[in-house]
Structure 1
Amino acid sequence: MIASLFAATLMTAPLQTTPSVVNDPRVTVSQGVLVGRHVDGIDSFRAIPYAAPPVGAARWRPPTPAQGWTDARDAGQVGAICIQPPSNGDPGVGPLPMSEDCLNLNVWVPSDHTAPLPVMVWIHGGGLNNGSGTAALYDGANLARRDVMVVTLNYRLGRLGFFDHPALAAERAPGEPVANYGLMDVVAALEWVRDNAAAFGGDPENVTVFGESAGGVLVTRLMIAPQARGLFHKAVVQSGLGREQGTPPDQPRLNGDPSMQERGVAFALELGLPAATAADLRAVPAERFLAPAPSFYGGDLIVKDGVFISEDVEAAFAAGREALVPFIIGSNSAEFWWMKPTDVSPYGAIDDAMTPDERAAFLAAYGGEAGYNAHVLSDLVFSEPARHLARLHAANGAPAFLYRFDVVSAAMPEPHAGATHASERQYVFDNLATSPWPTEEMDQRQASAMADYWTRFAATGNPNGGDHPVWPEVGAEGDRLLEFTNDGPVAKAIPFKDRLDLIEAYYGRIR
């Protein structure tokens, strides 16, 4: 099935075509002239290459600048998404075709604006296996109506974006960045934004990076990567973990699990390449790297490469080595409701080191086994790490704002109470038409509020202002957050403090 899918979809969009409408908006970027589209007061420009295609000998190499063009380039259609398995219905994936030639981005700006505009750069989620910046869910028009410039982007995924092997190491120059190619792509996109935002009316000195799930994981890594320093000035992390540990290229993980190169050797064996050379690996068709699927939380894709990322996020924040920029971080009220700590998975293993006394205390705090099974993984993976990073960031002297998303549409069909993982995305972008389930006027009120907070934060570094409730700053007003509810945003004490305190103590003991 995957092979037939690739046969139909491994294509790339034309590099340049003749625009059909002479009155469409035009901008001149570093590579040449782009011709976009004007719709309902918004100018959009799509499929803009920010780096050269990472194909052939450039597979598993750091990104390099995209080539320019001489004629005006039509930027009216989305480009190819990066190589990935079928989406299973996730609205954050975007349309085919897909290709290794996928390093493109998209821009939205209000047609009539007073420059310079704050810039918001979105980093999609999908477990570093799926997703794209081209999905209708991430259409930036409704955010741009709030006087910001919105950028969405693709980055290399799966083993094409996060991979190493001794044969690749043997050909690298000393000091060349390794394994974290998807993260390198995001940094290259931010460099492109720095160099070209002004052409669209954006302010390269006022850039906010925001991302969800794996995209949030990349945001926290941007905050600790020296190569990204100065490329952004504010950061938003939506359900972006925080306590996860990266895998080094040539050393075991802290828990003794294999290095990136050991994992690469094992995968090459599955391909029938026991003595693989770099040329052998680069000759393997892209679809072969999709199965078996690499494990996001199990160490296959979250990389501590030693150049871009030399320590885990938690350690960097604890030492005050993160970018001290204004910071929003939060999670949803029922993130992983379908997972249990008894599951045989990297997530299910998180609580395996609990002592009998710790487990008894946890069961009491969660009201018994049923409550523990329903909520503890969401708290271990998302809620407590978000509180932890927010506290550390505030203690380091930077503004931090914590949230909890608990908006639940009446038509949401899932058999649980609370907001599931990724369900805040259509609210942040004010794109409820892309919701997987029907929405009502209540949902639109909450989407309007959430998009207002996000864009105000991008403009000023503080989400407050206007008619919405005041969002308390972490540390300045005690342990408080803003909870997004069906009745509107509410500032309150952080819920379930006793549970989160137990988790904090547990992580403190086992790390």
Structure 2
Amino acid sequence: MKKIVISLAIIFSCSLDAQQKVDNASREASPIVKTASGSLRGVTEGGVSVFRGIPFAAPPVGEYRWRPPQAVKAWKGVRDASKFGPNCAQAGWGAAPGSISEGSSEDGLYLNLWLPAGTKPGAKLPVMVWIHGGAFVFGSGSQPDFSGVQFAKQGVLLVTFNYRLGRLGFFAFPALSNEHPEEPKGNYAYMDQIAALKWVKENIAAFGGNPKNVTIFGESAGGVSVHSLLTIPAAKGLFQKAIIESGGGRDGVLTGRPIHDANSDRHYPVSAETIGKNFAHKHGIEGTDAAALAKLRSLSVADIVDGGQETDGPGGLPIYSGPILDGKLVVETAESAYKGGRQVSIPLLIGSNSAEVPAGFVNAKSKEELLSNFGNLNKEIEAAYDPDGKTDLAKMLTLVNTDKVWAEPARFTANAFVAKGSPAYLYHFAYVPVSLQEMLRYGAPHASEIPYVFNNLIERNGFTVMPTDKEVARMMNVYWVNFAKTGNPNSKGLPLWPIYNPEKNEVFEFKQDGSAGNILDKRKTRLDVMKMAAEKP
């Protein structure tokens, strides 16, 4: 009998031990974190815990359309955070006329985060917050390209999020200006970004992140957003470092339509409220009172999205919607702030790609037409971009657009930060994968650095991953991680990336052969003449 009891005890003990291991594994696979609004259950995949679809603001629908983000309603129990939330409403690519893209919704204010599995509260991991691009009319934080797995594997907690897009993100109308006069108006996308950063500040410690070591980074419209956050007073103190990838820096570039360059925007200057009235008129809504606003709020989401990038209404009236100098939230442009030294004093990493776009900002059907865009600087432009008369038009257009919109403004921004005593690291991404070199003969196009920054190479559209691609991705990802951890991208085993020195004509280049290093900037003549064009009276 005694032997039977002992045997049963051993079996029971082993069963308990086995069950404990199963329970521990289950807890690791489904980590639970308590936030200010309620508890969340994530998932663990390959040593990385992921929490998806976390609401950081209430749905901006109904009466909250064109209002600042409202507080999240707390929930009871444990909320599933294994799946991404909807994207913010957008036309996207391939959406049918009069509809929004599949998977998008006006209820789209959700964020996602990746962290090393088993991270405990109080671990104080560095935090990186990614702001997606997409011309302020498409994109989301849940795109496969933005997976934070490789950042998490290096001890960084990565956050991505959605923000309102198009006319839902940027809109002004007289009745809106009168409604809730205590609230900021117009730039709802920026308000969403600030709300996401405030969520991070309040909640990230529960996931093991350090709210006092937050790096914001973004590309294209996301980079423009970083410029704005660096200069918006309401964003001060929400982050400690910043990275801008192909985000411009001059007033001439906010969303792909300059606010000061009449050559690129035939409607300049038109007030944001006038644009709002034009949009209302397109939908048969007259007047500017509360009744007209109620009709605007009753429009379908598809009517508001309106094709995503439509800029003109009936009769050619401008209805383009983008960032607004509203005087309350956005009190000045980034260029204005940089020239006055009014940006926040933090470390900055900034750069652009070697062949961003072939047209779109400066357009021309001949070299003569291209040069005519620059008025009395046409001779200087010709000497810089076509010194022997043999540069083909397509290449000239690519380089002119690249330098005017991204490369020179990046250098200008780096100069402004250094002048204020902040360290700046300036890069030039010139790497083109071997499998695409025949197609991309002028250099690295817009957004092509993103898979390398995230070390997330996906074979598609003729791209085949080669060993060199993997090394460039590993290297860039480590530089970005190092910067997030310490404000300095350098570490043992990487080529030295010096702090940018305006007195030297140097830039850190990710080169065509897959190597990287600080070099003399061969673009100097081009960038100098673009500076003259940007700063001429």
TM-score using structure 2 length: 0.84
2:446 matches 1:421 = yes
Letter in 1 for 2:233: P
Instruction: Identify the residue that residue 470 of structure 1 maps to in structure 2.
Output: 496
Matches within 5 A, 1:81-92: 81-87=87-93
Letter in 2 for 1:384: E
| C-alpha displacement of 1:113 | 4.5
Contact 2:66 2:169 in 1 (8 A): yes
Structure 2 CA distance for aligned equivalents of residues 475 and 467 of structure 1: 23
Q: Which moved more, 1:431-440 or 1:160-169?
A: 431-440
Instruction: Identify the residue that residue 162 of structure 2 maps to in structure 1.
Output: 154
| C-alpha displacement of 1:506 | 1.5
Instruction: Identify the residue that residue 374 of structure 2 maps to in structure 1.
Output: 354
| C-alpha displacement of 1:195 | 0.4
* Percent pairwise identity: 39
Seen in structure 2, the aligned counterparts of structure 1 residues 85 and 387 have a Cα distance that, compared at 3 Å, is same
Q: Could you list the per-position Cα deviations for residues 9-40 of structure 1 after superposition, in whole angstroms to 9, with x for gaps in the alignment? A: xxxxxxxxxxx966511111111111000111
2:350 matches 1:329 = yes
Instruction: Identify the residue that residue 458 of structure 1 maps to in structure 2.
Output: 484
2:321 matches 1:300 = yes
Instruction: Identify the residue that residue 10 of structure 1 maps to in structure 2.
Output: none
Q: Could you list the per-position Cα deviations for residues 92-115 of structure 1 after superposition, in whole angstroms to 9, with x for gaps in the alignment? A: xxx942111100000100014571
Instruction: Identify the residue that residue 289 of structure 1 maps to in structure 2.
Output: 304
| C-alpha displacement of 1:447 | 0.4
Seen in structure 2, the aligned counterparts of structure 1 residues 317 and 269 have a Cα distance that, compared at 3 Å, is same
> Which of 232, 239, 251 is the equivalent residue of 1:232?
239
**Aligned-CA RMSD value:** 2.5
Seen in structure 2, the aligned counterparts of structure 1 residues 198 and 214 have a Cα distance that, compared at 3 Å, is same
Q: Which moved more, 1:97-106 or 1:253-262?
A: 253-262
TM-score using structure 1 length: 0.88
Contact 1:426 1:434 in 2 (8 A): no
Seen in structure 2, the aligned counterparts of structure 1 residues 110 and 306 have a Cα distance that, compared at 3 Å, is same
Instruction: Identify the residue that residue 221 of structure 1 maps to in structure 2.
Output: 228
Contact 2:426 2:508 in 1 (8 A): yes
Seen in structure 2, the aligned counterparts of structure 1 residues 227 and 280 have a Cα distance that, compared at 3 Å, is same
In structure 1, the gaps of 5 or more residues are 1-19, 90-94
Other structure's SS at 2:104 match: coil
2:71 matches 1:68 = no
Contact 1:123 1:212 in 2 (8 A): yes
Other structure's SS at 1:121 match: strand
Contact 2:371 2:382 in 1 (8 A): no
Contact 2:92 2:139 in 1 (8 A): no
Instruction: Identify the residue that residue 39 of structure 2 maps to in structure 1.
Output: 33
Other structure's SS at 2:464 match: coil
2:275 matches 1:275 = no
Instruction: Identify the residue that residue 400 of structure 2 maps to in structure 1.
Output: 376
2:186 matches 1:166 = no
Other structure's SS at 1:402 match: strand
Other structure's SS at 2:88 match: coil
| C-alpha displacement of 1:254 | 8.7
Letter in 2 for 1:507: A
In structure 2, the gaps of 5 or more residues are 1-24, 96-100, 263-267, 313-317
Instruction: Identify the residue that residue 6 of structure 1 maps to in structure 2.
Output: none
2:384 matches 1:365 = yes
| C-alpha displacement of 1:126 | 0.1
Contact 2:275 2:319 in 1 (8 A): no
Contact 1:341 1:351 in 2 (8 A): no
Structure 1 CA distance for aligned equivalents of residues 213 and 149 of structure 2: 19
Seen in structure 2, the aligned counterparts of structure 1 residues 302 and 343 have a Cα distance that, compared at 3 Å, is farther
Contact 1:224 1:321 in 2 (8 A): yes
Q: Could you list the per-position Cα deviations for residues 140-199 of structure 1 after superposition, in whole angstroms to 9, with x for gaps in the alignment? A: 0111111000000000000000011112223232x4211100000000000000001101
Contact 2:43 2:82 in 1 (8 A): yes
Instruction: Identify the residue that residue 17 of structure 1 maps to in structure 2.
Output: none
| C-alpha displacement of 1:386 | 0.3
